[in-house]
Amino acid sequence: MACMNEDGQWIVLMGLLVAVGLFFLALIINQSALVGQTTAEGVLEFPKNDIRDLRAAVFDYVDRFGNADNLSSRAVRQDITAISLERKNAVVSFSAGAPQNVSGRLLRPVTIHYNNGVTEYDETVYY
Amino acid sequence: MRADDGVMSLDFLAGFTIFMLALIMVVSMVPGLLAGLGSSGIDYDAVAYRTGVILVEDPGWPVYPPWEMNADPDDIERMGLAVSKETPNILLSTKVDRFFDATFAPDDYRSKAIFGDIPYSYNFSLNISHPWGYEVEQTGDPLPPGYGYIRRVVKIKEPGVANIDGRFASQYAIPNPGAPEWNATVRNFTVQLDFGELLDPERDPAYRIDPRTEPVRVNIDFTQYCTDSSGATLQNVTFWKKDPTRPNARFTRIPFSYDEENGDLYTLHTDGFPRSLAPGAPVNSSISLVLKPAATSQFTLDQNSILDIRFTFEDETPHTNITGIHHYDYNTTNVALPALQPAVLEVAIW
Amino acid sequence: MVNEGGQLYTMEGVAAGVIMLLTAYIVVSTTSIYTTGDTHIPDMQLEQLGSDVLAMMDTRDAHGDAKSDLVTCISTTDRSGFRAAFCKYCNMRAGSDDDLKMNAYVYYRDQESNTVKSYALDEEDFTTGRENAVRVTRWVQVSGKPSNLSVGDVDSRTQAVLVEVLLWRA
């Protein structure tokens, strides 16, 4: 009878080992199932369209004001900064410099800064 | 003794319970296992999104000469439809036409637009909203249930056209053909393309005339310029180039198979009939030339070149009063650039 | 003898505990993963579509055009024109048209109080508040106070305003 008891323990122990092993295996496999979901989340998280839109807005601003710093240009800059912070939770700043000669064309250096807490984006572009 | 019997059956019961639960667990993991390793289901949408981005926001590779001019699909690295990488969502009509023409095999779309590890099935469709109605381009298999999908709104840029009609009669028609200085048997009319002006980097690529990627179209309403009812003989159409950056720059005739009709390089119609570039035939009503980018790329032109398209008319006595130079440029009177056409690109992947 | 029986019962207890915990974890994790993934994908598709529509409305049709359709709609407060153009672009498909609903708002900054305020550009579609709507935006610069606007306190200076569109599937 004692022998029978020890056999039973062996079965239970093996069962437990297999179960624990499968648990870790399943954890790893389930992680890879997340790939498709994280792609969709990644697209939503990364503000590509917001940044593109901001760049277009900054270029519109430069078209209109150049590197002027007067009351009305400052007001438009404040509009973009304040509304970005309020509606998109993003810290935004930008500035345009005096035109420079870049390979035969007169272009303004425009610096753009964008930070929404998750994504930070800085750019200096000649426009 | 009675207690030992009970223990034995409990051993079996416990072991079997553990086995059953482990089995249930494995079965419940099966969908996750397939989703992760088989890349099915949940990742179709991601692949469709990525394919949409490649098509809509990328001009493709190679750039010069552009991929759409490679007749052999093996020479194409990536099929993107955008005009340039600075202008996402603006598609070039020549790229669109090439993408949807029937010369590509399913494997070409898979390896040059979808880029997946497994051979996905696909369906691309483009619905263009013209002023006269909708035009649908489509390629791929019919849609099954459960496909990944993305829809992108785009605009399509179409090539410009120079319509030389009665508006220019005062400019190009010789007012007094009988005068001695016009007493020649040959009349030349030139359409001139100044690449330095056309390819000006200040110009937004979405509104640029680029003969290297888009056809050049010239329509002459010849009823305005024909002075003899038997028609004027269009001897030939020739191409001349000049590089103004060189010293002593002058126009030189570009070697080209002028007398061979080739629909891939150009089309020439006189009075509605297809001709080679050396028709030697009388024209009464219309001349229509489409010079395709495949031909322009053979001319070895750069950003400074000037290209002349010269129409030569020759009769015993002149039968036409057309002469002069028509500038193919951004003047909207000279070249009509069609407005960008809204369209919707749909990508389905399964 | 007595101790051996006790060993097995302890073992059973531990195994059963572990198994119950595992089962509960697996049931919770497998179901929750798929629901979140499924809701994110349509959001992503709608957001991309809406951004595309606004970007294309903000693209001039020809180089000679002074303003894009979007700027014209905002600066003249053309509500019906905005709705017609937006819905045309976003419901267009190769087959039958889609049926997406939208409301549009314009956010502007009041110079005096330095606060961000808004007015409804187009609020015709009825909302129950339970729609799974996405928000897409576009910057527009107008050179004065938009005309035909009943809202009084929009500044008359050149300003940047944010067009915000809520987009959802009915």
Q: Tell me: do B167 and B236 sit in the same domain.
A: yes
Minimal CA–CA distance to C159: which of C113, C104, C109, C88?
A: C109
Question: Which has more pLDDT, B215 or A103?
Answer: B215
Residue A5 reports pLDDT greater than 80: no
- Tokens representing A17 are 């080992």
Same domain, residue pair A18 and A73: no
Q: Chain A contact for C10, CB < 8 A?
A: no
Looking at A72-81, B72-81, C60-69, C122-131, which range is the least confident one?
C122-131
- Whether A38 is covered by a domain: the verdict is no
Region B42-63: what's the mean pLDDT?
87
**Between B185 and C47, whose confidence is greater?**
C47
Does B30 contact A at CB distance below 8 Å? no
What are the DSSP E strand ranges found in B210-315? 216-221, 232-242, 252-253, 266-270, 273-275, 281-283, 286-291, 306-314
What's the pLDDT at B218?
94
Rounded distance between C-alpha atoms, residue B85 and residue B81, angstroms = 10
- Selected residue of C19, C46, C51, C100 to mutate for chain B interface (largest B Cβ count, 10 A): C19
Note whether C44 contacts A64, CB cutoff 8 Å. Answer: no
Closest residue to A11, CB basis, from B15, B32, B42: B15
Q: Does B10 touch chain C (CB under 8 A)?
A: yes
C53: which 2 tokens? 């529509």
Min distance C69 CA to chain A CA atoms (Å)? 15
**pLDDT tens digits for range A44-53:** 678 888 999 9
Mean pLDDT across chain B? 86
pLDDT single digits (tens) A13-65: 777 787 778 777 766 666 555 555 566 667 667 888 899 999 999 999 999 99
| pLDDT for res B29 | 66
A90 and A60 share a domain?
A: yes
Chain B touching partners, 3 or more CB pairs below 8 A: A, C
How far does C99 lie from chain A, in Å, by closest CA?
22
| Contacts C46 to B, Cβ<8 Å | none
User: Is A40 a member of any domain?
Assistant: no
Whether residue A90 lies inside any domain: the answer is yes
Decide if C54 contacts C137 (C-beta within 8 A). Answer: yes
Nearest CB partner across the interface for A57, out of C29, C114, C160: C160
User: Given this model, what pLDDT does residue A30 score?
Assistant: 60
Neighbours of chain A (3+ CB pairs under 8 A): B, C
Residue B36 has pLDDT above 50, yes or no: no
pLDDT at B195 over 70: yes
Whole-number percent of chain B with pLDDT over 70: 93
Q: Are residues A68 and A122 in the same domain?
A: yes
Round to whole Å and give the CA distance between B49 and B348. Answer: 9
| C97 within some domain | yes
Yes or no, beta carbons of A22 and B25 under 8 Å apart: yes
Give B14 to chain C, closest Cα distance, Å. 6
More confident site: C72 or B23:
C72
Number of separate domains in chain B: 2
Query: Can you give the residue range of the structural domain that contains C74?
Result: 50-169
Does B152 map to a domain?
yes
Asked whether residue C23 is assigned to any structural domain, the reply reads: no
> For residue C86, is it within any domain?
yes
- Facing B8 at nearest CB: one of A4, A26, A39: A4
- Angle between the N-to-C axes of helices A35-45 and B44-57, in degrees from 0 to 180, rounded to the nearest 10: 40
Q: What is the pLDDT of residues B112-133, one digit of tens each?
A: 898 877 888 999 999 999 888 8
Is residue A98 domain-resident? Answer: yes
Contact, C70 vs C54, CB < 8 A?
yes
Residue B12 lies in a domain: no
* Domain total of chain A: 2
pLDDT of C142 over the 50 cut: yes
B183 and B309 fall within a common domain: yes
B168 lies in the same domain as B139? no
B152 lies in the same domain as B194: no
Q: Are residues B254 and B221 in the same domain?
A: yes
CB B73 within 8 A of CB B103: yes
In a domain, C28, yes or no: no
pLDDT in tens, B151-175: 999 999 999 999 998 888 888 888 7
Give me the total of CB pairs closer than 8 Å, taking one residue from chain B and one from chain C. Answer: 104
Nearest CB to A53 within list C18, C108, C138: C138
Range of the domain at B120: 41-158+339-349
Q: What residues of chain B, 117 to 156, have a C-beta less than 8 Å from chain C?
A: 125-127, 129, 136, 138, 149-155
| Number of domains observed in the structure of chain C | 1
Statement to judge: residues A57 and A25 lie in one domain: no
A51 lies in the same domain as A29: no
Residue A89 resides in a domain: yes
Q: Do B154 and B221 fall into the same domain?
A: no
Q: Is residue B310 part of a domain?
A: yes
Is C24 within the bounds of a domain?
no
Q: Quote the domain boundaries for residue A68.
A: 47-126
Q: Which is more confidently placed, B184 or C79? A: C79
Mean pLDDT score, B266-283: 90
Q: Provide mean pLDDT across the span B225-251.
A: 88
d(CA C6, CA C12): 10
Q: How far apart are CA B150 and CA B136, in angstroms?
A: 17
pLDDT at B180: 72
Q: Could you tell me if residue B227 is inside a domain?
A: yes
